[in-house]
Every structure is written in structure tokens, then in C-alpha cells.
């Protein structure tokens, strides 16, 4: 747990130091930010907003791969390839694209950490090259890094959620097209999580019960 807490602090600190983010939108209770990275034409996006659900419920939504297509736009499939431990796993995602564009797939390594003192959960995804996931011939294998910071507020009743993504769908898509479609990602993600968290039939995924059950703050 010491290692997990250290990772959490480093991630939160990196967010605080990222002063090159520029606010580009503030609608529907979500503030949206964007920034450019060195030698990259595709911009990173970030958003922050409040979810009317405890941290444990928000984390459940994020870890429930089987139901992710219910709230993630264009997501055709999400699944756990294999677990590397109670707080680490390899994930596969298949994204449907318009008819004239090849579908995209992403393989990531996901790590989770908890800081009980700060009442915070951090979920981070980074690109993974996993031999168990063979590339689908007709699709393009993209690159995806994502960060979710869940902060418990209002005596545990609500969650301040920060989401961040740096995605490159690869292939021949022009960067300005990618930037156009990704600009609303953080707002749509937070809205989707808000709606999903309201559903009464959510169940804790068996493979993540050990991680989710202690999140009682």
C-alpha cells in the first residue's frame, strides 16, 4: 500500500503542476481543458466535474468492462485480458468507426491506487504491447493513455472526478480531425459516468471485488 500511495501522490502532484492546460469549455457542470505536447499535433484533453455518487460507485463504473459500451460512445467491446494483481490488469478495447474509416483497437495496462488519508482513488492506463492480444487484421492498433482521479467529497456522498486522455488512433486520420472528435471526450465521459452511476442494477465485477470492497470513504 505504501507503493500505491506514493504513486497516487505523484499522479496528483503531476496534475497540479500541469499549468499548460488551457480551459476551453465550461458546460453542464464540466470544465474542459486542452494542451499540446512536444512534437505532437494531437492534443491531450482533460475534464473535471462532480458525480453524485460515492467514490466506490464511480470506480465500479470505470472497472465494469462488460457494461462500458452502455456509456462510452462508439465503444464496441471492452474486456480484461488478464489480471496482474488486485490493482493491475491488461485491458482490450475495440472502438467502432464510421463506415469509411477502419475500426480502432487499444491494449492498455491499467494500474489502480488508493490514498485513504486523502480519500482519493487513481486509475491510470498506459499503452501495452501484450503478446496475448493479436492485432485484428482489418483494424488499426492505436495508442491510449488515460488518467482518472476520484476524490471523495461531501462526507463521501459525492465524487470530484478528473479525467485525462492522450490518445493517438494512428492510421491516416489527419490530426485536426482527431482533435475535433476528441475535444468533447472529457465532458462526454463525465456525463456518461454520471448517468451510469444512477443505474440500480450495477454489480461489482468479481475480478475487482478485492479492490472495490474497501472503498468505504
pLDDT, mean of residues 110-131: 96
pLDDT, mean of residues 168-195: 95
Which pLDDT value is given to residue 99? 86
Q: How confident is the model at residue 4 (pLDDT cuts 50, 70, 90)?
A: very low
Task: Identify the sign of the CA torsion 135, 139, 142, 145.
Answer: negative
Percent of the chain with pLDDT over 70: 91
Predicted confidence (pLDDT) per residue in 36-76, tens digit: 988 889 999 999 999 999 999 999 999 999 999 999 999 99
User: Which residue in 73, 28, 90, 114 sits closest to 196, CA to CA?
Assistant: 73
Helices (H) and strands (E) in the chain, counts: 5, 10
User: Any idea which residue has 485491458 for its cell?
Assistant: 91
Q: Is the pLDDT of residue 165 over 70?
A: yes
Q: Is the pLDDT of residue 5 over 60?
A: no
Which pLDDT value is given to residue 139? 97
Give the residues across from 165 on adjacent strands: 45, 146
Q: Is the pLDDT of residue 1 over 90?
A: no
Predicted confidence (pLDDT) per residue in 7-36, tens digit: 444 444 444 444 599 999 999 999 999 999
- Extents of the domains making up the chain: 2-212
The domain defined by 2-212 folds into Alpha-D-Glucose-1,6-Bisphosphate; Chain A, domain 4 (3.30.530)
- Residue 159 to residue 119: CA distance in whole angstroms: 10
Which pLDDT value is given to residue 19? 54
Which residues, including other chains, have CB under 8 Å from residue 166's CB and lie 6 or more apart?
37, 42, 44, 144, 145, 146
User: Which residue in 44, 144, 146 sits closest to 104, CA to CA?
Assistant: 144
pLDDT, mean of residues 187-194: 98
Give the residues across from 147 on adjacent strands: 124, 164
Query: For the CA atoms of the chain, what is the radius of gyration?
Result: 17
Q: What average pLDDT is seen over the chain?
A: 91
Amino acid at each position: 500500500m505504501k507503493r500505491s500511495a506514493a504513486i497516487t501522490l505523484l499522479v496528483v502532484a503531476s496534475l497540479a503542476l500541469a499549468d499548460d492546460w488551457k480551459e476551453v469549455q465550461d458546460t453542464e457542470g464540466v470544465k474542459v481543458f486542452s494542451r499540446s505536447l512536444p512534437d505532437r499535433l494531437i492534443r491531450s484533453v482533460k475534464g473535471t466535474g462532480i458525480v453524485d455518487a460515492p467514490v466506490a460507485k464511480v470506480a465500479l463504473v470505470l472497472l465494469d468492462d462488460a457494461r462500458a459500451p452502455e456509456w462510452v460512445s462508439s465503444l464496441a467491446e471492452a474486456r480484461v485480458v488478464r489480471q496482474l494483481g488486485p490493482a493491475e490488469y491488461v485491458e482490450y478495447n475495440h472502438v467502432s468507426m464510421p463506415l469509411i474509416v477502419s475500426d480502432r483497437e487499444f491494449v492498455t495496462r491499467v494500474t489502480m491506487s488508493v490514498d485513504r488519508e486523502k480519500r482519493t482513488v487513481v486509475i491510470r492506463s498506459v499503452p501495452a504491447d501484450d503478446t496475448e492480444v493479436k492485432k485484428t487484421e482489418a483494424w488499426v492498433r492505436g495508442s491510449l493513455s488515460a488518467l482518472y482521479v476520484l476524490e471523495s467529497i461531501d462526507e463521501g456522498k459525492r465524487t470530484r472526478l478528473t479525467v485525462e486522455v492522450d490518445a493517438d488512433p494512428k492510421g491516416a486520420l489527419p490530426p485536426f480531425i482527431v482533435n475535433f472528435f476528441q475535444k468533447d471526450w472529457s465532458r462526454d465521459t463525465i456525463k456518461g459516468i454520471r448517468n451510469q452511476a444512477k443505474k440500480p442494477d450495477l454489480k461489482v465485477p468479481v475480478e475487482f471485488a478485492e479492490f472495490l470492497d474497501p472503498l468505504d470513504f
